[in-house]
Structure 1
Amino acid sequence: MIRVAVCSYWHVHAEEYTDFILHHPDTELVGIWDEDAKRGERYAGRYHVPYYPILDDMLLREDIDAIVVVAPTSLHEDIMVKAAEAGKHIFTEKVLALTSAEAERIVNAVEANGVVLNVALRKLYERDIVTLRRIVEEGSIGDVSLVRVRMAHNGALAGWLPEHFYNRAECGGGAMIDLGCHPMYITRALLGMPETVTASYGYVTGKEVEDNAVALLQYTGGAIGIAETGFVTGQSPFMIEIHGARGSIMYGMPDEQIRIRLNEGDGEWNIVPFDEPIPNMFEQWVGHVQCREVSMDNVKMALDLTKLMEAANEAAVSGKAVAVNVM
């Protein structure tokens, strides 16, 4: 049994991740720390576990094996470096950190102390993206020249996002670094790392951070990736377009099916069956902890995602293309 403590209920996914812990046969919720003491005590009472007011004290406990980090992104480095040094395995909400330097320090601490880190890049393990990646890797549509991924909701307009999601100091940005992570790492998974990133951010509701955003990823050889997101489009579906030299793939509207049309085919959009599902992000982390194996693909993708977010934020401010360091 893996004994897990939750670090903060700041993020909207914190209760979902707690449910993962409670319902997995190999994990047990054993404690809570929160930077907001009242919130932490409230959740500790709800789940009938101890609340630890001091993070360092909780991390030193031998009856805690791992932590789930759902704290402000600005606290990620401090929490995870301390956890790794205390020998605790880590499952964390994306992004890994606000900057590449912080992310590298986290990964270095994880590697130095032999603990398992998984970042919640949930879409990578869902059947739609698993199937799309396989089709692209098989080469059915030839060399890919364009990928467009859109994921958005109306959280800012409808008011259901917590107000602290618009706090730049805590979040590092707005729609792009939160919801836009998914289009960004999906584009990265399908096309690899780009040479440069440009970005345009909109402020429809007048918040401190952007609520409407697009990033353009430019690749050697002319390929382009487009990552779109926002908090102001309630009817915007999750959509993916992939265009290659020999055909195109569409996913999303109107019925969440994958369709492919080849240049030399019958001219029809043909539905592609989904691949078999694979374990979700939390189940994979549990398996890695049990085997003491680090998912380097997940860690590398998380590091790349932080680099891309850092570049997009810089590009949105400067209005210029920002080179991405892929080392």
Structure 2
Amino acid sequence: MLRVAMLSKWHVHAGGYANFLKSLDNVKITAVWDEEPERGRKWAEELQADFEENLNCLLSRDDVDGVVVDAPTAMHAEVMVAAANAGKHIFTEKAMALTVEECNQISEAVKKAGVKFCISFPARTSPQNLYAKKVVDEGLLGKITLWRNRNGHDGSLSNWLPDYWYDEKMAGGGAMMDLGCHPMYLASWFLGKPKRITSMFSYFTGREVEDNAQCSIEFENNALAIVETSLVTYRTPGMLEIYGTEGTLIINGNDIKLTSKKMPYQGWFTPTELPKPLDPPLKQWVDAITLGTPILYGLEEGTKLTELLEAAYIAHKEKRQVEFK
């Protein structure tokens, strides 16, 4: 039995993670900690778990094998370094941390402790994105020239996000730090090492953090990526466009169209079968601990995401192009 502690209900996905873990026969939620004790006590009662007001006390418990981190992003480094030092396996909500330096601190602690680490990259498990990666890897599009991905919802318009979501000190940013993580880590997965980045963020609802954002990134393979995300768009379908020297792939929600010079006929092709979805990242983490299976989204992937995010916010705040080292 894998015994797990939930570290904070700050993130909007925390409840979903707890429900998923409760659905597994080989997992038991034993304890809860929260930087807001009143919220944590209430959640612990709902989960029928112990509440620990002191994080170090929780991490010293013998009935905690691993932790699920949903604390404010600004607290990730502090919380995860402490968890690793206590010998606890770690699953974290994205982003891994606000800076690459903090990611390096987490990585050092995790490697030293020899614990399992997984970051939540759910977009990499979807059949549509797995199909797109397969098309690119098989060379059907030739060399990639332009990659565009959009992810959005109307959380800031409909006000279903919590007020603290817009606290820059704790969240680290707005739309790009939240939903923007998904197209950012996908861009890294598809295109490799970034070369330079520019940002255009706006404040449509007038809050402290941006709610509408776009980044343009050039990668070392000369491909350009356009990353778009928003908290102020209504019923936004997942949009992925990949243009290459020998083909084009357009994915709009569940609608997929491919054309390629390497196909036996010219015109648009719609696949009749997609790859099977991969297990959710949280299931990958549980299986890695209990069965020794691989984790696909670890320290390196998490750090690469933060590298892009950190540079994106520098570009926005300093109104300049940022080059990667």
TM-score range for the pair, normalised by the shorter chain length: over 0.9
* Correspondence list, 1:1-327, <5 A: 1-253=1-253, 256-263=254-261, 265=263, 266-272=265-271, 273-291=273-291, 295=295, 298-325=298-325
Q: For residues 82 and 297 of structure 1, what CA distance do their matches in structure 2 show?
A: 21
Please say if residues 117 and 299 of structure 1, whose CA atoms lie closer than 8 Å, have aligned partners that are also in contact.
yes
The one-letter code matched in structure 1 to 2:311 is A
Q: Which moved more, 1:286-295 or 1:210-219?
A: 286-295
- Report how far residue 258 of structure 1 moved: 2.4
C-alpha separation between the residues in 2 aligned to 1:222 and 1:47? Answer: 50
Q: Following the alignment from structure 1 to structure 2, what is the Cα–Cα distance between the partners of residues 252 and 238?
A: 6
Which runs of no fewer than 5 residues in structure 2 stay unpaired?
Answer: none
Report SS of the residue matched to 1:270: coil
Q: Secondary structure at the match of 2:149?
A: strand
Q: Which amino acid aligns with 1:147?
A: W
Structure 1 alignment gaps of length 5 or more: none
Structure 1, residues 211-268: CA drift from partner, whole Å, max 9, x if none?
A: 0000111123531001100111013211000011111001115xx1322011465443
Letter in 2 for 1:142: G
SS in 2 for 1:271: coil
Q: Could you tell which deviates more after superposition, 59-68 or 269-278?
A: 269-278
Distance in 2, Cα, partners of 1:24 & 1:193: 37
Query: Residue 69 and residue 269 in structure 1: after superposition, are their counterparts in 2 closer, same or farther (change >3 A)?
Result: same
**Paired amino acid for 1:318:** E
Mapped to 1, the partners of 2:65 and 2:99 lie a distance apart of 27
**3-state SS, counterpart of residue 214 of structure 2:** strand
How large is the RMSD of aligned CA atoms in angstroms? 1.4
1:33-82 per-residue CA deviation (whole Å, 9 max, x = no partner) reads: 01111101111111111111111000001111000000101111111001
Instruction: After TM superposition, give the deviation of residue 291 of structure 1 in Å.
Output: 4.3
Preserved contact between residue 8 and residue 71 of structure 1 (Cα < 8 Å): yes
Contact 1:314-1:322 at 8 Å conserved across structures: yes
| Matched-pair contact (CA < 8 Å) for 2:147–2:240 | yes
Give the SS at the match of 2:276. Answer: coil
2:118/2:297 contact within 8 Å kept:
no
Instruction: Report % sequence identity.
Output: 36
- The one-letter amino acid paired with 2:54 is I
Scaled by the length of structure 2, what TM-score is found? 0.96
Partners of 1:131 and 1:200 lie apart in 2 by: 30
Give the letter for the 1:75 counterpart: M
Query: 1:25 Cα shift?
Result: 2.1
Deviations for 1:183-228, whole angstroms, at most 9, x for unmatched residues?
1111111111210111110000011110000011112353100110
Query: Residues 152 and 233 of structure 2 are in contact (CA less than 8 Å); yes or no, is this contact kept in structure 1?
Result: yes
Cα distance in 2 for partners of 1:192, 1:220 equals: 8
**Which aligned segments of 4 or more residues in structure 1 are displaced greater than 4 angstroms?**
291-294
